[in-house]
Chain A
């Protein structure tokens, strides 16, 4: 049953104009790179890999996982359950033999799939373009493929935790717009306002982009610039994974507690 719900949701997301607009938005860094890429002095798979790690980590920290990327994820994930509650279609779902946990998990993974598409496609286009630029062929593609998967995985882990948190708020608030605004407000406060208070050491670590840098350190070993991001990647990964799991459990509890009058 979960697969029916998941596939339907993914199909609905793929058909939506919103996903196409968001994908176009996420392609902006790739377009920027087309016109501003570095001068190539060495045509090898190794040089390509170093350049890929540097460029992807810069774009990821400064654009893809920054405020704009976070907003995209919040909008997608807030809509998944809140739109069902808002439109009343959750009542139809509840009259079908599907568990509430299946609804939450199916919805979450359909949102994750949308994130893979929105972020993964720009990363892939960037990789292919760089392979062509460095004239490294299949060998270059293979050399950077692991990095591509790693970058996608890190993106999904960090932004997925934000998405799961948005889903939780969306069930509590029942309206996609309110949930998006509340999620963004809370995330903005946690990243940019809270660290201004004088009680915290290294306030920059509260920033999701910063945490992306910490996590990338683990896999992007050829990019020494990432050493400036202080923190243990394993601890960060554990933290984001816990946020995802906790948010999903709380979402499920909220769904159990909720009544659908509309």
Chain B
């Protein structure tokens, strides 16, 4: 049943007030199956509150949540059979050993005794705490606790992973390792919903993104779609930028052209794109200028983010 879903997570007008304070406002999330969805926003944007509603720790003030097309929190037990969750601050039973904790989590996820033990052993190795299996959780560093929390989210092989700021306590190497693991889990077909405020991380591991600021969803979609390609703006690098620039400045259909960090930026009147594509390469070849790079100018996610967040602030 679960595998035929289009959207694994779908919220409609999800709203949360704490007293009179509005934390999340009319959030309409759509998380398609099989994507790594980066839930991106600054600190205090409402990411954790949203995740707490998705995991039934908080009740929405109004709005609805559907996970695997089942209603949360009404069908929580059924939904949670296919969900793994990692909180923003690693929470665990501090007096338990790592192995005890993971086996407990596995058993609660519905695994059999032997299966749980096997999975716990494998996952401890996978997240890099295999040698600490018999250490109590309270004896671990925050980074190690984070790894244990990740293993606990993975136990039971859930179809959907909800990870709240998963790299917060990891060192730089640990972060790289973690991103690699997320990418490989995504290749296995898992849907991963990961919140973060670090743009570069989201760019590396996610193919979908939802931008949240001040409790409002500002944009969501494929990263490639959001980082819009400005169709009439191109980055060009040649063996003789001065010569190329001379040609570009002579042409009336080139609205603007300038050199920036050893690269030419060209804005072309969209009505004359055909002429541009025909004449520019011809000119370069006639002048013996080699074309090193030619690509549409893409705005990076960070830039889009800043732009969108400014809009969000203005609208308040």
Contacts and interface: CB of A to CB of B under 8 A. Distances in A.
A21 interface: no
Given A92-B85, A94-B55, A96-B109, A87 B80 contact: no
Interface stretch (B90-98, B122-130, B213-221, B283-291): B90-98
Interface string A8-20: 1000100100000
A125 interface: no
Interface in A86-119: 87-99
Contacts of B50: none
A95 B83 contact: yes
B91 A92 contact: yes
A6 to B, nearest CB: 11
A1 interface: yes
Interface in B76-125: 76-78, 80-81, 83-85, 87, 89, 91-96, 104-105, 107-110
B108 A96 contact: yes
Interface in A235-262: 259-261
A98 B58 contact: no
B116 to A, nearest CB: 10
Given A1-B110, A97-B77, A89 B57 contact: no
Given A1-B110, A92-B152, A97-B109, A261 B58 contact: yes
Interface of B: 52, 55-59, 76-78, 80-81, 83-85, 87, 89, 91-96, 104-105, 107-110, 152, 162
15 contacts: A8-B104, A15-B95, A89-B92, A92-B105, A92-B152, A94-B55, A95-B84, A95-B85, A96-B80, A97-B80, A97-B108, A98-B77, A99-B77, A259-B57, A260-B57
Contacts of A143: none
Contacts of B55: 91, 94-95
A259 B58 contact: yes
A256 to B, nearest CB: 9
A260 B92 contact: no
Interface residues of A, number: 22
Contacts of A98: 77, 108
A91 B91 contact: yes
Residue among A4, A90, A98 with the most chain B CB within 10 A?
A4
A260 B52 contact: yes
Main secondary structure of the interface of A (DSSP, over half): helix
A177 interface: no
Given A1-B110, A93-B108, A259-B58, A88 B77 contact: no
Contacts of A93: 108
A97 to B, nearest CB: 5
B87 A88 contact: yes
Residue among B59, B81, B95, B104 with the most chain A CB within 10 A?
B104
B93 A89 contact: yes
A261 B58 CA distance: 7
Interface string A68-102: 00000000000000000001111111111111000
B52 A4 contact: no
A4 B84 CA distance: 18
Contact of A92 (B92, B94, B110): B92
A182 interface: no
B8 to A, nearest CB: 15
A79 to B, nearest CB: 12
Contacts of A8: 104, 107
Given A4-B107, A8-B107, 20 more contacts: A1-B108, A4-B108, A5-B108, A12-B93, A12-B96, A88-B87, A89-B93, A91-B57, A92-B92, A94-B55, A94-B57, A95-B56, A95-B80, A96-B80, A96-B105, A97-B78, A97-B80, A97-B81, A98-B77, A98-B108
Given A1-B108, A4-B107, A5-B108, A94 B56 contact: yes
B91 A87 contact: yes
B104 A89 contact: no
A82 to B, nearest CB: 15
Nearest to A90: B57
A59 B291 CA distance: 98
Contact of B104 (A4, A91, A94, A260): A4
A15 B52 CA distance: 32
Given A96-B80, A97-B78, A91 B87 contact: yes
A92 B56 CA distance: 10
A90 B95 CA distance: 15
B76 A94 contact: yes
A28 to B, nearest CB: 27
Contact of A89 (B56, B91, B109): B91
A12 B95 CA distance: 8
Contacts of B52: 91, 260-261
Contacts of A261: 52, 57-58
A92 B152 CA distance: 9
A224 to B, nearest CB: 49
Contacts of A88: 87, 89, 91
A261 B88 CA distance: 12
A18 B55 CA distance: 33
B171 to A, nearest CB: 24
A69 B81 CA distance: 41
Contacts of A87: 91, 93-94
